[in-house]
Amino acid sequence: AFGATVVVKDLEFGDNETFVLVGAGDENYDEGKILITSPLAQGLVGKKIGEKVEIDVPAGTMKFKVLEIRYEE
């Protein structure tokens, strides 16, 4: 959900990535801050820790396993 930090494992490359779901004007892709309305964020919304997800993005299909979901105070 909005403001959540989601840590995922990229199942294709094996590395971990951290995304923060933010609103318009706060996005910064170099810092992993992605728009809540983006295809990537929408694919992560509602997922649970341990769940595997495939997300269709313009560059192809991304495959992740959700490792952690946290909300900053």
| pLDDT tens by residue, 34-64 | 999 999 999 999 999 999 999 998 889 999 9
pLDDT at 2: 77
State the residue for tokens 């995922």.
8
How distant is the alpha carbon of residue 51 from its chain centre? 13
Stated pTM of the model: 0.90
Average pLDDT over residues 66-71: 96
pLDDT at 59: 87
Is residue 19 within 8 Å of 28, Cβ to Cβ? no
Q: Any idea what DSSP says for residue 65?
A: E
Phi and psi at residue 11, to the nearest 5°:
-75, -15
